[in-house]
Structure 1
Amino acid sequence: MRGLALCLALSLAGQGAGAEAPATSPRPMPRLQLAAPDITPDPPVPEPQGQSPVRPKRRPDLSPPAAEVVLTVPVAAEPAPLRPRRRPDGLNASFAAPLAEAGQGTGKTKDKAKDKTKDKATQKGSVCGDPEIKGEVLAAIKGKVKGCGIEAPVRVTAISGIRLNQPATISCETATAFKTWIEQGMRPAMGKREVVEIRIAASYICRPRNNKKGAKISEHGRGRALDVAGFVFSDGTQWSVARDYNSQTRKAHKAACGIFGTTLGPGSDGYHEDHLHFDIAGYRSGPYCK
């Protein structure tokens, strides 16, 4: 509106330059009153009765906060210095005897283990409960003639490391006595000559004494006698009783007296000129040795 009035005034001024000025100054037209539009505010929303204002709830913790991990390294305590405690009096004495008997602490443990292994090895193939007597156990022998037979016979193949040229079927009592003669009589009698084989002439045989008809059953018929015909030595030489009844053979023959109940040989009765007869018969008067 001001701009319109200004333009009108300038126009009149230009005309007045050559005309007379008006008696009064024109007044500006009054401004039109612009009415502001009526704005009706929205009615207030009433709050529901009996309810508390809605507020957002606190979210629950979805997962517990991670605990702070603190690694701790245990520190080993400094060990106390090790010092042996004083032994009680008499402790050594109480253990000395058992250790000595067991062979512990004396270097004998290994030796005993070796001996046990050796014992097991030597027991294999032995009879009569003696590892030095080798052979096999036989079934009881029933004789066809009354008085003959062996209740518990064994077939012996070697005694005290000396082989027999043929197995001898005898009783264990006879085998044990023969072993004693080998170790205590024959070997000492032979001196430095090592016997490796004994030649057996007879063992178990069911017959009468000296093969005489009507005579009593020989001790051979009971497995209680052995006949030795000769010896074989480690150097290969051989002695026979018939040919080599020398001082050493005589000494071995004599050493059997007492170990056996009966010992016979060359010159005794004419029936034993080529062998030594040993049996374990017992007599009230003592051993019969010729």
Structure 2
Amino acid sequence: MRAALAFLLMTFPAHAEPRPVPRPGAEIVVLSEDGSTEVPDEAAVARSVRPVQQLEGPDGIAAEMAAAAAEKLDDAGTVQVSDRPETRPEDRVPAEPEPAPATRVPPSETGSVALCGRRSIVGETIAPVTGPGGCGIPDAVRIRQVSGLRLTRPARMDCTTAQTLDDWVRDAVIPGIGRRGGGPVALRVAAGYACRPRNNQPGAKMSEHALGHAIDIAAIRLADGSELSVLRDWDEGAEGRVLRALWRAACGPFGTVLGPESDSFHQDHFHLDTARYRNGGAYCR
């Protein structure tokens, strides 16, 4: 055994690297009609032609893309849209409806149920409002709209005050403003019911706001988004003249009407109330 190993080491040097021996190629055998086999010459074996046409180089690829794009063009040269099935209705996300332009609602369409005896007053009856020191509204309603003009925030009051506000809007505000700015659409409310003394002054008498007899109006909003503002427009040009006419028209239907010329507490709004204790006529200032 040792002698055989020594012989092998002498025959193959240690530093020689083994090299892979090429595997003989596969032999091609052809079956004849009589059942015998034969090996054809290499020249007789033809390479098959692949049916796939290869694109050579970027020019070939660009040409193929241009041809595909041309198939999508109609005679007018415009791109044809492929016929794809529409999304099922249940998969569609409904679009947000665009807000309708601000318009005054005709009084006949304002409410389906008469509130305070009128369909032109929109809102709801609410539970009696109570508060300390005599504050409260026994027969309370929450008003959202009068004669087609919405209140920028709901106001609590009694029905007498709601009806008087409705009269003033119908008889004075709407005809007095006319089509200026597209016409009036809303009353900007500064205050409704509030359990407090007059002008929030400690020791003063109870405010008519604390009884649901009053509402403060800071501005009249128009359809184009502009406003007739008591603070900005009082005694200023045509807008000021309109506001003064509306203030004057409120005097009589309302028992108390206060504006910018009454005192410093009313520089930015009209105070309108239906005080029940007045016997000598309305107090307007």
What's the TM-score once normalised by structure 2's chain length? 0.57
Residue 146 of structure 1 and its aligned partner are, at CA, apart by 1.7
1:271 equivalent in alignment to 2:271: no
Q: Secondary structure at the match of 1:197?
A: strand
**Cross-structure match for 2:127:** 139
1:152 equivalent in alignment to 2:126: no
CA distance 1:126–1:134, change in 2 (3 Å): farther
Alpha-carbon displacement from aligned partner over 1:126-169 (angstroms, at most 9, x marks no partner): 421210000011001111x2221000111111111111100011
Q: Secondary structure at the match of 2:119?
A: strand
Amino acid of the residue matched to residue 146 of structure 2? I
Residues in 2 aligned to 1:227 and 1:142: alpha-carbon distance in whole angstroms: 21
Alpha-carbon displacement from aligned partner over 1:159-207 (angstroms, at most 9, x marks no partner): 1111110001111100000011111122232133210011000010000
Amino acid of the residue matched to residue 207 of structure 2? S
**Cross-structure match for 2:166:** 179
- Structure 1's consecutive aligned runs of 4 or more residues displaced over 4 angstroms after TM superposition are 119-123
Residue 254 of structure 1 and its aligned partner are, at CA, apart by 0.8
Q: Note if contact 1:126-1:132 (Cα within 8 Å) is conserved in structure 2.
A: yes
Alpha-carbon displacement from aligned partner over 1:12-41 (angstroms, at most 9, x marks no partner): xxxxxxxxxxxxxxxxxxxxxxxxxxxxxx
Residues in 2 aligned to 1:141 and 1:256: alpha-carbon distance in whole angstroms: 26
**Cross-structure match for 2:214:** 225
CA distance 1:238–1:122, change in 2 (3 Å): closer
CA distance 1:181–1:217, change in 2 (3 Å): same
Q: Note if contact 2:111-2:121 (Cα within 8 Å) is conserved in structure 1.
A: no
Q: Note if contact 2:187-2:219 (Cα within 8 Å) is conserved in structure 1.
A: yes
Q: Secondary structure at the match of 1:259?
A: coil
Residue 121 of structure 1 and its aligned partner are, at CA, apart by 7.1
CA distance 1:120–1:166, change in 2 (3 Å): closer
1:285 equivalent in alignment to 2:285: no
Number of corresponding residues? 172
Q: Secondary structure at the match of 1:220?
A: helix
1:190 equivalent in alignment to 2:171: no
Residues in 1 aligned to 2:231 and 2:264: alpha-carbon distance in whole angstroms: 12
Residues in 2 aligned to 1:212 and 1:126: alpha-carbon distance in whole angstroms: 38
Counterpart mapping for 1:9-20 below 5 A: none
What's the TM-score once normalised by structure 1's chain length? 0.56
Counterpart mapping for 1:32-111 below 5 A: none
Residue 231 of structure 1 and its aligned partner are, at CA, apart by 1.3
CA distance 1:251–1:131, change in 2 (3 Å): same
Identity %: 44
Q: Note if contact 2:110-2:147 (Cα within 8 Å) is conserved in structure 1.
A: no
Q: Secondary structure at the match of 1:243?
A: helix
Q: Note if contact 1:126-1:135 (Cα within 8 Å) is conserved in structure 2.
A: no
Q: Which entry has the higher C-alpha Rg, 1 or 2?
A: 1
Residue 123 of structure 1 and its aligned partner are, at CA, apart by 4.7
Residues in 2 aligned to 1:285 and 1:267: alpha-carbon distance in whole angstroms: 21
Amino acid of the residue matched to residue 170 of structure 1? M
Q: Note if contact 1:149-1:222 (Cα within 8 Å) is conserved in structure 2.
A: yes
